[in-house]
């Protein structure tokens, strides 16, 4: 009976883990450039005495769906969508370099260019600083240009260029802060072929309908595992009664 209980318990635990990741995906359906989390499970045979049909379930690995989300036109000059498999280099809370595709940029009170999540956008010379301007333009190659405050369009000047890279997708890992990093810590050099599309944002790649269906399926699986645990308890109680009768 204890083996049946343990098998059901590991199955329920696995379903709870999957449900938590699915809930995270659903919660980020509206998050700009969010990448869905995926995981897979594997069955492990229980060694030792007992029936050979007893298997436990374990989470094998957790991966990220790096496919691009749909492009949403916003018309806002500071909104950019990265095309292809390029990434934008930003600064994390610890001051280290990280990667993101989130392009809802803004200039803070200190004139620094940040993402909507508050991360400093990195240029070729470090964080990009924007002096007072009448117009700010982000080019397809990442070029940051402004028309200084109080001057005409003929005075447009190039300030910096957003640091854009194209890392190997197999080396990317997502941190708890939602930013991605290259396994090993070394970023690839700037890639001049990575392009940005101004006036657009990349939407989350989470399929809401699919995630809702998966949530229902996982809830049913969890209910089944709980029923199996109750059955194991009932069987143990029945066996104990028979032994007392004997």
What's the pLDDT band for 52 if we cut at 50, 70, 90?
low
Lowest mean pLDDT among 47-51, 63-67, 202-206, 240-244: 47-51
| Domain range summary for the chain, segments of one domain joined by + | 2-66+207-245, 71-202
Q: Mean pLDDT over residues 212-232, rounded?
A: 88
pLDDT at 246: 60
And the tokens for 211?
Answer: 């995630």
Q: Which residues partner with 59 through β-bridges?
A: 41
Q: Where are the beta strands (DSSP E) in the chain?
A: 37-45, 55-64, 71-73, 80-82, 87-91, 97-100, 106-107, 113-114, 120-123, 126-127, 133-138, 143-148, 157-161, 164-165, 172-174, 180-182, 196-198, 200-202
Cα separation, 246 vs 242, in Å, equals 6
- Of the candidate ranges 30-39, 43-52, 65-74, 206-215, the one whose mean pLDDT is the lowest: 43-52
A 10 A CB-CB count for 90 gives 24
Contact, 79 vs 203, CB < 8 A? no
Tally the residues of the chain: 246
Report the pLDDT value the prediction gives residue 2, as an integer from 0 to 100.
57
Q: Which residue has the tokens 């659903």?
A: 26
Nearest Cα residue to 197 out of 84, 36, 60, 48: 84
Average pLDDT taken over every residue of the chain: 88
Q: What is the pTM of this model?
A: 0.79
């Amino acid at each position: 009976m204890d083996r049946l209980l343990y098998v059901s318990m590991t199955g329920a635990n696995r379903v709870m883990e999957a449900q938590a990741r699915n809930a995270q995906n659903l919660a980020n359906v509206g998050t700009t450039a969010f990448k869905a989390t995926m995981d897979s499970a594997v069955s492990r045979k229980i060694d030792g005495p007992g029936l050979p049909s007893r298997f436990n379930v374990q989470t094998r690995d957790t991966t990220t769906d790096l496919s691009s989300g749909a492009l949403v036109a916003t018309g806002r000059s500071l909104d950019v969508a990265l095309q292809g498999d390029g990434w934008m280099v930003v600064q994390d809370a610890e001051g280290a370099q990280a990667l993101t595709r989130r392009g809802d940029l803004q200039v803070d009170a200190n004139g620094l260019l940040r993402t909507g999540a508050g991360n400093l956008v990195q240029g070729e010379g470090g964080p990009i600083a924007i002096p007072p301007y009448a117009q700010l333009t982000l080019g397809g190659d990442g070029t940051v240009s402004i028309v200084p405050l109080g001057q005409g369009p003929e005075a447009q000047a190039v300030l910096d260029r957003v640091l854009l890279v194209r890392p190997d997708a197999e080396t990317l890992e997502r941190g708890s802060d939602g930013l991605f990093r290259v396994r090993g810590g070394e970023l690839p050099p700037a890639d001049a072929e990575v392009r940005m599309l101004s006036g657009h944002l990349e939407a989350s790649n989470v399929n809401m309908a699919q995630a809702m269906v998966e949530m229902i399926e996982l809830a049913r699986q969890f209910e089944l595992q709980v029923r199996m645990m109750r059955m194991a308890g009932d069987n143990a109680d029945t066996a104990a009664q028979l032994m007392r009768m004997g």
